[in-house]
A and B are shown apart, each in its own frame.
Chain A
């Protein structure tokens, strides 16, 4: 083991700012990339579900479309039932 205490671990032999500055910014970048992608996916499914419907079926099947939107925005792995029920409770 390299460290005898947490403060020693955070100090990084006096190079704490540089080491943690590197790791922290990496963490921020990775997190924001993942977040931006899921947000992009959510907006996409939202616009598809409600506004974009080139096949003109929106009136006949409105509820199904709303469900589609809820499912995909809530859960990206398409576990349909669990996702839509939690969203409905919130409403």
Chain B
């Protein structure tokens, strides 16, 4: 391929590239969200045991998946930053954390609102729910540690350590419903078996999952651009941008 990928490892060129990508992913996110919500509320039928309450699934599952996936991506970037001392990778990790934390909170919140009518309780200390709560604390710990350290390079390193240690929690969340007796049911969609959902419901859920991917990409790129500017404020290329009025 003729694209020089190394070029985009530098914050300056990535800043421009990300700027071009944000509107694209924003439009995709809005489009998919509209389709997903339409399917979720108007096409997908009532569930045979949970009635209309199951419609919470269209945000609960995407939020829960994103919360785990974003954590892994964040830990990867943080790890790369730690190992190769690349500035941009650490900035990516920092940019992902707030969005990941938001999705974790949403997974817990919607789960609680779903658990009350269906299970009969807002919250139980079973393995799935507890490990997801720990994920929220890991995100918060990562963000507050980074915020507490003034020197960005040191903040990156300290954050990377938390992020990498916390990765152990991801398989625990994912497999908790198989490893232990939990109140939370098993997975409806998994790699090694056919989904246990009617296809319209599944389609709606998957469109919502795609929408949250696009949303996350758009928001994270937007945030990483700000972080790049904040951290590179002393450099010539930022001064150049400022002169052009293209900040």
Q: Which residues of A contact B (CB under 8 A)?
A: 1-3, 9, 12-15, 17-19, 21-23, 25-26, 29-30, 33-34, 37, 40-41, 44-45, 48-49, 52, 54-55, 64-65, 67-68, 71-72, 77-78, 80
List the 7 shortest-distance A-B pairs measured between CB atoms, nearest first.
Answer: A13-B52, A15-B53, A22-B110, A12-B52, A18-B113, A13-B51, A72-B247
In the complex, how many angstroms separate the beta carbon of B158 from the nearest chain A beta carbon?
A: 22
Given known contacts A29-B105, A72-B247, is B233 in contact with A52 (CB within 8 Å)? yes
Tell me if B109 is interfacial: C-beta within 8 Å of chain A: yes
User: Do the beta carbons of A23 and B59 come within 8 Å of each other?
Assistant: yes
Given known contacts A13-B52, A52-B233, is B59 in contact with A22 (CB within 8 Å)? yes
Write out the residue numbers on chain A whose beta carbons fall within 8 Å of the beta carbon of B245.
64, 67-68, 71-72, 78, 80
Tell me if B141 is interfacial: C-beta within 8 Å of chain A: no
Q: Which residues of B contact A (CB under 8 A)?
A: 23, 41-42, 44-46, 51-53, 55-56, 59-60, 63, 98-99, 102, 105-106, 109-110, 113-114, 116-117, 215, 219, 222-223, 225-226, 229-230, 233-234, 238-239, 242-243, 245-247
Q: What are some 21 contacts across the A-B interface (CB < 8 A)?
A: A2-B44, A3-B42, A13-B53, A18-B53, A18-B114, A21-B113, A22-B113, A25-B109, A26-B63, A29-B105, A34-B219, A37-B223, A40-B226, A41-B226, A44-B229, A49-B242, A65-B242, A71-B247, A72-B245, A77-B23, A80-B245
User: Do the beta carbons of B117 and A15 come within 8 Å of each other?
Assistant: yes
- Given known contacts A25-B106, A54-B234, what 11 new A-B pairs fall within 8 Å (CB)? A18-B114, A19-B56, A22-B109, A33-B99, A37-B222, A40-B226, A49-B247, A54-B233, A64-B243, A65-B242, A80-B246
User: Do the beta carbons of B102 and A12 come within 8 Å of each other?
Assistant: no
Write out the residue numbers on chain A whose beta carbons fall within 8 Å of the beta carbon of B51.
13-15
**Which residue on chain A has the smallest CB distance to residue B233?**
A52
Residue in contact with B56 in the complex, picked from A9, A22, A37, A52, CB distance below 8 Å? A22
Write out the residue numbers on chain B whose beta carbons fall within 8 Å of the beta carbon of A18.
53, 56, 113-114, 116-117
**Which residue on chain B has the smallest CB distance to residue A83?**
B245
In the complex, how many angstroms separate the beta carbon of B244 from the nearest chain A beta carbon?
A: 9
Question: How many A-B pairs fall under 8 Å by CB?
Answer: 101
Q: Which of B215, B222, B242, B243 has the most CB of A within 10 A?
A: B242
**C-alpha spacing A13/B247, complex, angstroms:** 50
In the complex, how many angstroms separate the beta carbon of A11 from the nearest chain B beta carbon?
A: 8
Write out the residue numbers on chain B whose beta carbons fall within 8 Å of the beta carbon of A21.
113
Write out the residue numbers on chain A whose beta carbons fall within 8 Å of the beta carbon of B226.
37, 40-41, 44
**C-alpha spacing A58/B233, complex, angstroms:** 15
Write out the residue numbers on chain A whose beta carbons fall within 8 Å of the beta carbon of B46.
2, 13
Write out the residue numbers on chain A whose beta carbons fall within 8 Å of the beta carbon of B247.
44-45, 48-49, 68, 71-72
Write out the residue numbers on chain A whose beta carbons fall within 8 Å of the beta carbon of B41.
2, 9
**C-alpha spacing A3/B106, complex, angstroms:** 27
**C-alpha spacing A27/B149, complex, angstroms:** 32
Write out the residue numbers on chain B whose beta carbons fall within 8 Å of the beta carbon of A41.
222, 225-226
